[in-house]
Amino acid sequence: MDKILCDCSIMVVDDTTANLDLLDDILSKKYEKIRLFTDGNFAFKSALSDPPDIILLDVMMPQIDGYELGLKIKANRVLSDIPIIFISAKSETLDKVKAFQSGGVDYITKPFHIPEVMARVETHLRLGKYRAELEEKNNKLKETLKSLKEAQSQLIQAKTLSSLGTLTAGIAHEINNPVNAINSSGIALGKIIRKFLALIEIYDKLRTENTDSILEEAAIFKEEISYSEITEGVEQLLRNIDVASNRTIEIVRSLKTFTHMGRNEKEAIDIHENIESTLILLNQRIKDRIRVTKHFGNIPKVKCFPGKINQVFVNILANAVDALENKINIGEPAEIEIKTSLAADQEKPSVNIEFSDSGAGVPEDIKEKIFDPFFTTKDVGQGTGLGLSISYGIIKSHGGNISIGTNRVGGAVFILNLPIE
Ligand SMILES: Nc1ncnc2c1ncn2[C@@H]1O[C@H](COP(=O)(O)OP(=O)(O)OP(=O)(O)O)[C@@H](O)[C@H]1O
Ligand SMILES: [Mg+2]
């Protein structure tokens, strides 16, 4: 028998000293720590101050009988897990149901059959050890699970922030262009307006001075400032300002759909509007490099957490752009196709949103893994491998599904299925 079991402490409670002595003789051959009690109340106090690993308990005792003491032990938070083996004489009728109800795990009968006593004690000590070990492992598992969950939510938050960071960098760039255009057009318009004012000043003199000489002066000035050209220029500058300010308004409007990022309420949204917004925000990486075609079907609004769904669109579109970098570098056509439609074959009414790209596709042997957290084929610092696992979680939490396929040019197709609700 192993050392750990020999080290176990055993408490024996029996009002007959002859029985105590006999059990002491039997048990002390293997166990070192044996405590003997003739009185149940003393035994209880001793157990409280130093809980034993097992208790052998006589049923018939004068002060407090075995059943009662058993119940008292089971009701105590410190002692409740200690296994109790009841001892009863062959002549007594042991109420087995009552014994088990009083916390007994087993019973032995007098006169004692030594190997049986040893076997039963050892079995329950072993079971007790296993139980304690299991409990300890279980607690450790619970702790590990808790810290895993914490780490997961921190990572998801970090990834959300980093997607936002990517977007913000792009948006800053995007807004910079129209704002610069507005600014330089404004400056140019200012210069022209000042020239017009100078011309008006010349005409102003008409009221007091000689008409012909003033008209002559005005004509020379008009020549100097290339009057007809700058009049045309004004039109062009005003058009520039119009285009640029509309673009800025568009970007700001797209940003609004993303300000829902953390909202905790579901909203019925127009999926197409959200895809458009995402494309505008990713435009920095798309424009002039990738051809995006949209085949938007006639779909109803979808009830969802808009910020979360936008995050999925960003992750999938950003992956598509990444997958196209090689094609762009070697001058091959880089295309993204986005399709939406009502799903026909689902039990619940739902929509399909399909993102297809002309990249190299997802190799067969990694298809299984791409939704795993931290799985990435990108270089260190290029990808965290969280985009798809977070997207998968988001879509699943909406009762939807993500599947992956291959299109006719070998590129990847990601199909989101979202219930309409
Ligand atoms: N459109 C795609 N074409 C080809 N492979 C893809 C495509 N989308 C995803 N993958 C593969 O799936 C992997 C996991 O994608 P996921 O978005 O989870 O992480 P990531 O893009 O590598 O990193 P990040 O956390 O920055 O998104 C990618 O590294 C890539 O190998
Ligand atoms: Mg990604």
Give all strands (DSSP E) within 104-219, no chain letters. Answer: 104-110
User: Which run of H or of E encompasses 172?
Assistant: helix 114-204
User: Which run of H or of E encompasses 402?
Assistant: strand 401-406
Q: Using an 8 Å Cβ cutoff, are 348 and 406 in contact?
A: no
**Cβ atoms within 10 Å, residue 231:** 11
Which amino acid would we find at residue 169? A
- The domain segmentation of the chain, as residue ranges, is 3-112, 260-419
Secondary-structure breakdown of the chain: helix, strand, coil percentages, each rounded to the nearest 5: 55, 15, 30
pLDDT at 246: 87
pLDDT at 404: 96
Pocket test for ligand 1, best of 388, 392, 402, 414 (most atoms within 8 A of CB): 388
Ligand number, closest to the Cα atom of 370: 1
Does 311 sit in the ligand 1 pocket, CB within 6 Å? no
Ligand number, closest to the Cα atom of 405: 1
Report pLDDT digits (tens) over 250-270.
777 777 766 655 567 888 999
Q: Which residues pair with 295 in a beta bridge?
A: 339
- Dig out the tokens for 395 from the structure: 């879509």
**Cβ atoms within 10 Å, residue 4:** 10
Query: Which of 185, 191, 175 is CA-nearest to residue 240?
Result: 185
How far away, in angstroms, is 388 Cα from ligand 1 center?
Answer: 7
Residue 49 dihedral angles phi and psi, to the nearest 5°: -75, -25
Helix residue spans in 205-226 (DSSP H):
211-224
d(CA 251, CA 231): 31
Q: Using an 8 Å Cβ cutoff, are 72 and 53 in contact?
A: no
**Average pLDDT per run of 10 along the chain, which is 421 residues long?**
78 92 91 93 94 93 90 93 87 77 88 88 90 91 87 75 69 80 90 89 83 88 89 89 87 70 78 91 88 96 90 93 94 95 84 97 94 88 85 92 95 96 80
How far away, in angstroms, is 314 Cα from ligand 1 center?
Answer: 12
Q: Using an 8 Å Cβ cutoff, are 59 and 86 in contact?
A: yes
Nearest CA to ligand 1 atom 26: 383
Does 383 sit in the ligand 1 pocket, CB within 6 Å? yes
How far away, in angstroms, is 399 Cα from ligand 1 center?
Answer: 23
| Residue 389 alpha carbon, nearest atom of ligand 1 | 18
Nearest CA to ligand 1 atom 7: 319
- Return the CATH superfamily for domain 3-112: Response regulator (3.40.50.2300)
How far away, in angstroms, is 405 Cα from ligand 2 center?
Answer: 17
Pocket test for ligand 1, best of 370, 384, 403, 414 (most atoms within 8 A of CB): 370
How far away, in angstroms, is 411 Cα from ligand 1 center?
Answer: 13
Q: Is the peptide bond before 111 cis (omega within 30 degrees of 0)?
A: yes
Report pLDDT digits (tens) over 336-350.
999 999 997 767 899
How far away, in angstroms, is 395 Cα from ligand 2 center?
Answer: 15
Does 43 sit in the ligand 1 pocket, CB within 6 Å? no
Does 276 sit in the ligand 1 pocket, CB within 6 Å? no
**Cβ atoms within 10 Å, residue 143:** 10
C-alpha to C-alpha distances, 395 to 150, 188, 390, 418, 420, nearest whole angstrom = 21, 50, 9, 7, 12
d(CA 305, CA 31): 64
Ligand number, closest to the Cα atom of 414: 1
N-term to C-term CA, the chain: 64
Nearest CA to ligand 1 atom 31: 377
| Residue 386 alpha carbon, nearest atom of ligand 1 | 25
Domain 260-419 class, CATH top level: alpha beta
Does 357 sit in the ligand 1 pocket, CB within 6 Å? yes
Q: Using an 8 Å Cβ cutoff, are 321 and 292 in contact?
A: no
